[in-house]
Amino acid sequence: MGPSSTDTALRLAALTKTFGRKPVVDHIDLEVPRGSFYGLVGPNGAGKTTSLSMAVGLLRPDGGRAEIFGLDVWADPARAKELIGVLPDGLSMPERLTGRELLRFTGLLRGMDLKEVERRAGELLTVLELDRAERTLVMEYSTGMRKKIGLAAALLHAPRLLVLDEPLEAVDPVSAATIKAILQRFVRGGGSVVFSSHVMAVVEQLCDHVAVIASGRVVASGPLRAVRAGRSLEERFVSLVGGRIPEVGELAWLSS
Ligand SMILES: Nc1ncnc2c1ncn2[C@@H]1O[C@H](COP(=O)(O)OP(=O)(O)OP(=O)(O)O)[C@@H](O)[C@H]1O
């Protein structure tokens, strides 16, 4: 199947990964419709980063499949990766490059024309308000600036699908508004986005679809309204995933 013949941007089927004896991703099925803004939520350690890493060809699954617009990521990685822009977790980057050099490097690795790379890099640096930092080495960037330059690198080749691991974490509110606007415009222009987040309000604000992952399994997924089931996403999340509220008497030593 070619990229134009499917309405699914990303499909995970029985995707599985075990570290040691523990399956951290346990037969995950997920369907991200083309043109959707898809949020992935789940408690710490649920397996979100591991799933996304396998979905984009960064971590080899022990079982199952990942398809991008119908292309098997692990059978045809080069073609699949042309269609995606990725913001990985923890983002290891060439630290001794400036922001602009990083974008130039990314563009050339992607086989893009240098002039076009320079034009897009200039625009991305301006829109993301990184232009004053373009001569600064990445190693001197703040956490939020690293997210922004990572996002710029993910957008540079105008992908069809963005896969972003916590893109708004550690980003200040002004930059967050810029990033949200860029992502919304990307989706309006026909792109698809899947991202992980711990902030339910952000997911409710941006997403039309959501999946809740807990202990390596999908416990709910689909259109946001269906998953919320008449409640706030936070309430639904806590009821699906559980959670422990300290009881009266516990942590009593905290009271003065
Ligand atoms: N390379 C690895 N070796 C061993 N265990 C790992 C490895 N990578 C992840 N894990 C474990 O797999 C589980 C899932 O981790 P993962 O980072 O995918 O979760 P997450 O949902 O992204 O969590 P968070 O919300 O805290 O970022 C965790 O228990 C983690 O300790």
What are 149-198's pLDDT values in tens digits? 999 999 999 999 999 999 998 889 988 999 999 999 999 999 999 999 99
The mean per-residue pLDDT over the stretch 72-90 comes to 92
Kindly state if the Cβ of 45 falls inside 6 Å of ligand 1. Answer: yes
Q: For residue 100, is pLDDT > 70?
A: yes
Which atom of ligand 1 is least distant from the CA of 20?
Answer: 4
On whether both 110 and 188 belong to a single domain, the answer is no
Nearest to 55 by CA among 1, 9, 90: 9
Q: What is the pTM of this model?
A: 0.92
Closest C-alpha residue for ligand 1 atom 29: 45
Ligand 1 centroid to Cα of residue 48, in Å, is 8
Phi, psi of 15 (to 5 degrees): -65, 135
pLDDT at 4: 52
End position of a domain, from candidates 114, 138, 156: 156
Ligand 1 centroid to Cα of residue 19, in Å, is 9
On whether both 76 and 181 belong to a single domain, the answer is yes
Answer whether residue 233 is part of any domain: no
Give CA torsion, residues 43, 45, 50, 52, to 10 deg.
20
Helices (H), 83-197: 99-109, 114-127, 143-155, 173-188
Which atom of ligand 1 is least distant from the CA of 17?
Answer: 12
Closest C-alpha residue for ligand 1 atom 16: 47
Which atom of ligand 1 is least distant from the CA of 166?
Answer: 27
On whether both 41 and 113 belong to a single domain, the answer is no
Answer whether residue 234 is part of any domain: no
Kindly state if the Cβ of 10 falls inside 6 Å of ligand 1. Answer: no
Amino acid in position 164: L
Kindly state if the Cβ of 44 falls inside 6 Å of ligand 1. Answer: yes
The answer to whether ipTM exceeds 0.90 is: yes
Kindly state if the Cβ of 164 falls inside 6 Å of ligand 1. Answer: no
On whether both 13 and 55 belong to a single domain, the answer is yes
pLDDT at 133: 82
User: By residue range, what is the domain housing residue 30?
Assistant: 1-83+159-223
Answer whether residue 243 is part of any domain: no
Give CA torsion, residues 167, 53, 188, 154, to 10 deg.
70
Instruction: Residue 168: give its domain's CATH number.
Output: 3.40.50.300
Which residues share a beta bridge with 67?
11, 72
pLDDT at 198: 92
Closest C-alpha residue for ligand 1 atom 30: 45
Kindly state if the Cβ of 48 falls inside 6 Å of ligand 1. Answer: yes
Residue with the two structure tokens 């300290």: 246
Answer whether residue 245 is part of any domain: no
Residue 217: pLDDT band (50, 70, 90) is: very high
Amino acid in position 205: Q
pLDDT at 170: 84
Q: For residue 76, is pLDDT > 60?
A: yes
Number of domains in the chain: 2
What SS3 state is found at 227?
A: helix
